[in-house]
Structure 1
Amino acid sequence: MRYVDFWFDSIHCHRTVNERASKGHFDPPILLVFTGKDEYNKIEFEKREKELNDQIEHAFRYKSKHSHLHERFFLSNIEDVDDEFEKLRYAVFENAEKMDMWGKSFPLKWIILEHLIEINKKDGKNFITFTDMLNLAKHPDINIIKEDDLLLFLRFQHNVGNIIFFENIRDLIILKPQWLADAFRCLVSDRIDGRRLRHLQDWTLLKQQGKISESLITELFESKCGSQFAGQKVNLHKVMEKLDILVKIPNSSYYIMPSMMPSSTFDVVCKTFGILSKNCHRSSWICLKFVFLPPSFFNYLSASFLRNYYPSQVNNVIALYRGICMFDIDSSGCKKILVTMSTDTIALQVVSFSTEQQEGFGSTCSDIYSEVKQFIEEMIKRYMVKISYKLHFKCSDGYYHKDTFAFENLTRDQKCFCVQHTKYHRSEKLYSPWIKNEVERSLHDRMITSTKKVDLNPSGEATAGQ
């Protein structure tokens, strides 16, 4: 049931509206199909059916994601007659018919061009260039001549998941998204025999640190998958970078594959990089607590940090791990950003090893939060997902993943009791380093509003009704 819960959460992120109609459902709809009914006799099946229904009700009751569930089916591929499968087919059709895209008017030329794309897919074409696509669009029955009109069609096809297309990578329009997944699998498959590779040292780096070189990418494409990917290596690089599958390390010939970053523990990372030493000054934690945090989200966030900061290093080991990363804020390496993830939380902390550490961290924490906040907004827009979080905070040496303090409570009370340290903390000391910019912006907006009100009545004379 844990996996079912995860998939419901994932689908709920892609709901089409924030609020459902009264007694209505969310789109996209879910039809839950259980198979293997033939493994039970009638009495056992009825018992099992009740168990599953009870588990679903217990897991999803009173949760909005439950409103995606339309129907449940219990089927046997061996014993059930066609009528049972016809009920499922009808349910699929009936629910699809109710979705927003169903029956929506599209230009006839789009439908014909989409049909031509499907023919190319069936003929074994995995990708096509923009020039070739433009030639297809000029077919007499389609007659799309202008590039802008074709781009509109391609953007739509990309958004609904039929193709993968980026306007700045026009030489590679991927007709079959599975082809890109297969290309990615060439680089991460556990069936690769590293002993047979020419670039054995680079292979070791990939396995141990998630770093991959251009040479190893080329060799893996050629040795694992032949020429079908090697011939498109340059464009595949661009697409994989666009999707954060590969991230270029600044001033290096290597890439990072976030999905291949090694595992570690928070305590080990802190010990390796001296976070717990006396000369390390730590800010409070800012914790972004999500209703549902997709596991891949941390990979996207770490990729974003990689493009702006250098990963911290000790003895040629980079601080990039699955769920824990650390980056140098400047070239001195004295100030660093620690980024971590737990089940539903992204937590950040600024640490400093400078002997000239002044009171507080200036605007560093607030600047970083502004960057992260902007990144999340861009991700929501880019992937059209509905995710939300609440701000929590924790003391500098506290556990970021439990017993955190909600921001709204900290702004209401001047003090907060810390369960971990069995003492109180000043509330403002926890949150002020991280929202300095927002507080200043809010004060600035209030001053402007106040000034406008004064300007409307510069003489200070009483207006009607006063």
Structure 2
Amino acid sequence: MLKSNVDLHDKEEYATLLLWDFAGDEEFYHTHQTFLSPDAIYIVVTKLNEADDKKAKDLFQLWMDSIHCYSRLEEDINKSDASKRSSYDLDPPVVIVGTWKDALVCDVEEIDDACRENILKYTENISEDELGHIRQEYFISNTEDDPSVFQQIRENILNLARKMKTWNKAYPLKFIQLEKQLQEKKKVLPIISFQEIQKIAFDSPQPLNDEELRLFLEFHHEIRALVHFKDLPSYIILDTQWLSNAFRCIVTAKKFRDISIRNIKNGMYCTVEANYIVRF
């Protein structure tokens, strides 16, 4: 999907893809909610051969809880229990990918039946509401499956994306002008004040009023093209990767930390930790 040659001048429709790879280490759990969005498809990957491992099951539960808690559409949150039961599918959709299929030891003839049994072990303590997010399940082997298996997953995820509410959503042309200007601004600074973005919006060839600017910021925050918290309205983070890197400087998993080394040379201390060199 990412490497294919695409002719942007043909009559097919294309969408912009933002791809996020979340850190699975527990130290990063509290940063995830910043980047979870209701306008996304979540691919939850787990090992089929660890379905009896409590730690693996707890981690799977944590991801499903996080997606259900922090990413649900407002309309789904406000639904009554009765309406939830009548409409089982909840957004955002979740695709489960079970890996290590080749390492699975089973007594049944059909390997896919054994894979389904192990996925059921992962989901046995998941609530009915959370199960409503799951749309598709895949069982793969990274060592034995040929490329066509992965291509089929890509195509099915693309078809799932076409059914989402944000696909083909009307997008004001005014937004595109401001979007392009902010893309250029992002190359200089990753963060911008609300007053500055307000000035840019007003000085555009097709100016945005305050209500249109609010809708612009809400829309782009929902898809995480930028970050704008309503309770911190004074600043807008244009570069979400910069924010992720900032978290990484503060919160680092233990396995990525090196032993601190302090050398005294010309009165300067040098601490090497977490793949960063900090001089002071």
Q: Report the counterpart of residue 59 of structure 1 in structure 2.
A: 125
CA contact (8 A) 2:191 2:237 kept: yes
Q: Report the counterpart of residue 92 of structure 1 in structure 2.
A: 157
Which residue identity lines up with residue 125 of structure 2 in the other structure? A
Which residue identity lines up with residue 61 of structure 2 in the other structure? D
Relative to structure 1, the CA distance from residue 184 to residue 81 in structure 2 (aligned partners, 3 Å threshold; closer, same or farther) is closer
What does residue range 402-413 of structure 1 map to in structure 2 within 5 Å?
none
Q: Could you tell me how far apart the structure 2 residues matched to 1:154 and 1:39 are?
A: 46
| Correspondence 1:10 to 2:37 | no
| Corresponding residue to 1:76 among 141, 144, 158 | 141
Relative to structure 1, the CA distance from residue 64 to residue 134 in structure 2 (aligned partners, 3 Å threshold; closer, same or farther) is closer
| Corresponding residue to 2:237 among 166, 174, 196 | 174
With the length of structure 2 as denominator, give the TM-score of the two structures. 0.54
Which residue identity lines up with residue 9 of structure 1 in the other structure? D
Q: Could you tell me how far apart the structure 2 residues matched to 1:187 and 1:57 are?
A: 33
Q: SS of 2:95's equivalent?
A: strand
CA contact (8 A) 1:162 1:175 kept: yes
CA contact (8 A) 1:144 1:150 kept: no
Unpaired segments of 5 or more residues in structure 1? 197-223, 228-466
How far 1:50 moved relative to its partner?
A: 3.7
Which residue identity lines up with residue 149 of structure 2 in the other structure? E
Relative to structure 1, the CA distance from residue 23 to residue 185 in structure 2 (aligned partners, 3 Å threshold; closer, same or farther) is closer
| Correspondence 1:105 to 2:170 | yes
Relative to structure 1, the CA distance from residue 193 to residue 164 in structure 2 (aligned partners, 3 Å threshold; closer, same or farther) is farther
Q: Report the counterpart of residue 27 of structure 1 in structure 2.
A: 91
Q: Could you tell me how far apart the structure 1 residues matched to 2:230 and 2:125 are?
A: 43
| Correspondence 1:158 to 2:215 | no
How far 1:46 moved relative to its partner?
A: 4.1
Q: Report the counterpart of residue 266 of structure 2 in structure 1.
A: none
How far 1:181 moved relative to its partner?
A: 3.6
Q: Report the counterpart of residue 297 of structure 1 in structure 2.
A: none
Relative to structure 1, the CA distance from residue 74 to residue 129 in structure 2 (aligned partners, 3 Å threshold; closer, same or farther) is same
Q: SS of 1:20's equivalent?
A: helix
Relative to structure 1, the CA distance from residue 23 to residue 150 in structure 2 (aligned partners, 3 Å threshold; closer, same or farther) is closer
How much identity, in percent, do the aligned residues show?
Answer: 31
How far 1:164 moved relative to its partner?
A: 2.0
Q: Report the counterpart of residue 115 of structure 2 in structure 1.
A: 49
Which residue identity lines up with residue 6 of structure 1 in the other structure? L
Higher relative contact order (CA 8 A, sep 6+): 2
Q: Could you tell me how far apart the structure 1 residues matched to 2:87 and 2:234 are?
A: 48
How far 1:109 moved relative to its partner?
A: 2.0
| Corresponding residue to 1:114 among 179, 199, 223 | 179
What does residue range 132-281 of structure 1 map to in structure 2 within 5 Å?
133-134=197-198, 137=201, 138-140=203-205, 143-144=206-207, 146=209, 149-165=212-228, 172-189=235-252, 191=257
How far 1:23 moved relative to its partner?
A: 5.4
Deviations 1:235-267 (A, max 9, x none): xxxxxxxxxxxxxxxxxxxxxxxxxxxxxxxxx
How far 1:139 moved relative to its partner?
A: 4.6
Relative to structure 1, the CA distance from residue 114 to residue 36 in structure 2 (aligned partners, 3 Å threshold; closer, same or farther) is farther
Q: Could you tell me how far apart the structure 2 residues matched to 1:99 and 1:159 are?
A: 14
CA contact (8 A) 1:128 1:172 kept: yes
Q: SS of 1:100's equivalent?
A: coil
Relative to structure 1, the CA distance from residue 159 to residue 226 in structure 2 (aligned partners, 3 Å threshold; closer, same or farther) is farther
Relative to structure 1, the CA distance from residue 126 to residue 77 in structure 2 (aligned partners, 3 Å threshold; closer, same or farther) is farther
Q: Report the counterpart of residue 17 of structure 2 in structure 1.
A: none
Deviations 1:159-188 (A, max 9, x none): 443212357967742122342343244344
Provide the aligned length of Structure 1 versus Structure 2: 201
What does residue range 278-293 of structure 1 map to in structure 2 within 5 Å?
none
Q: SS of 1:59's equivalent?
A: coil
How far 1:153 moved relative to its partner?
A: 1.6
Q: SS of 1:15's equivalent?
A: coil
Deviations 1:109-142 (A, max 9, x none): 2134335545665x575233446545654454xx
Relative to structure 1, the CA distance from residue 75 to residue 117 in structure 2 (aligned partners, 3 Å threshold; closer, same or farther) is farther
Q: Could you tell me how far apart the structure 1 residues matched to 2:150 and 2:192 are?
A: 37
Unpaired segments of 5 or more residues in structure 2? 1-56, 263-275
CA contact (8 A) 2:98 2:119 kept: no
What does residue range 390-405 of structure 1 map to in structure 2 within 5 Å?
none
Relative to structure 1, the CA distance from residue 7 to residue 148 in structure 2 (aligned partners, 3 Å threshold; closer, same or farther) is same
Which residue identity lines up with residue 166 of structure 2 in the other structure? M
Q: SS of 1:162's equivalent?
A: coil
Which residue identity lines up with residue 119 of structure 2 in the other structure? N
Q: Could you tell me how far apart the structure 1 residues matched to 2:278 and 2:217 are?
A: 29
With the length of structure 1 as denominator, give the TM-score of the two structures. 0.35
Structure 1 window deviating more from structure 2 (12-21 vs 42-51): it is 42-51
Q: SS of 1:144's equivalent?
A: coil
Which residue identity lines up with residue 126 of structure 1 in the other structure? P
Q: Could you tell me how far apart the structure 2 residues matched to 1:107 and 1:114 are?
A: 11
